[in-house]
Amino acid sequence: MDSPVKMHTKDLNFFYGDFQAIHNVSIDFTQNQVTALIGPSGCGKSTYLRCLNRMNDLIPGIRVTGKAVLDDQDIYDPSLDVVTLRRRVGMVFQKPNPFPKTIFENVAYGLKVNGVKDKAVITRVVEKSLKQAAIWDEVKDRLNESALGLSGGQQQRLCIARALAVDPEVLLMDEPASALDPIATQKIEELIDQLSSKLTIIIVTHNMQQAARVSDRTAFFYMGKLIEVNDTDTLFTKPELKQTEDYITGRFG
C-alpha cells in the first residue's frame, strides 16, 4: 500500500442549517483504488460523497467545515473554481439520468461544455469512452438514437461513459447499481474493477456484498460519523469495533 493518496478529508463537518449531517470525517483515498462507503440509510454516506465534488453547493443553507483535499488543493478554498473541480471529480448517480438527447450527444456533452470543438477528437473520445464503459458493442449502430430508448442498465453504463469522457481523475458513484437488475449490476461491477486501474473510485452502496466484491477499502458510516475504515478484507472479516460487526453481520440497520 505505498500508492499515493489522491484525495482525503480531514475533520470534515457538514451542516444543513442547524442540523449537522456529517461529524469530523477523515478518510484517505488512495490513487487507483476503489473505496466503498457503507452504512444504513440516512447515515450520511451520500451526503459525504457529494461533499467531494461540491454537489451539495446546490442546496441553499448548507455549511462545510474542515478540509477536503484533492492532490494538494483544498477543494473548499474560495479561490478554487468549482467547475474545474467537477471536471476532475466525475460523478455517476443512483438513478441513470441520461439527457433526452442522442447517445452520441450524451457522451459528447461533457467535451463540448469543456470547450472541445474538434469533431474528430470528439468522435474518437466518444468511442473510447463507450468502449471503456463496456457499452460500445451494444450501441455502436444506434449512436444517433435517443438515449432514453436504452434499458436501465445500458443507460447507467452510458452515464458512466459520459462521466469518463471528460477524463476525470476521481469517479464518485452514488449507489450506481441500486436501480438495476442483477445481470446489469454484475456488468457495472466488472466495469468498476476495470476502471480502477486508471481512476480513483469512491462508491456509495447499501449492499455489503457489493462493497466486498468491488472495493479495496471500505468505510463504515453511522449517524453521520465515520465508525471505521480499513482494508475491505479486514473490515469484513475482523472488524475492530462491535458496532461495525453488528452492521455487517446484519444485527442492526
Interface residues toward other proteins, by CB under 8 A = 53, 55, 58, 60, 81, 83-88, 90-91, 93, 95, 97-101, 109-110, 112-115, 148, 159, 162-163, 165-166
Cell 457503507 identifies what position? 38
Sheet with strand 62-70: strands edge to edge: 73-74, 62-70, 5-16, 19-30, 225-231, 217-222, 34-38, 200-204, 170-174, 89-92
Nearest to other proteins of 44, 96 (CB atom): 96
The nearest distance, CB 159 to other proteins, in angstroms, is 7
The nearest distance, CB 178 to other proteins, in angstroms, is 14
The nearest distance, CB 126 to other proteins, in angstroms, is 14
Nearest to other proteins of 6, 162 (CB atom): 162
The nearest distance, CB 86 to other proteins, in angstroms, is 5
Nearest to other proteins of 106, 218 (CB atom): 106
- φ/ψ (deg, to 5) at 177: -110, 5
Nearest to other proteins of 116, 134 (CB atom): 116
The nearest distance, CB 237 to other proteins, in angstroms, is 35
Nearest to other proteins of 58, 120 (CB atom): 58
Nearest to other proteins of 155, 215 (CB atom): 155
Cell 450524451 identifies what position? 106
The nearest distance, CB 89 to other proteins, in angstroms, is 8
Query: CA dist 171 to 13, 117, 181, 192, Å?
Result: 22, 24, 22, 10
How far apart CA 125 and CA 135 sit, in angstroms, is 14
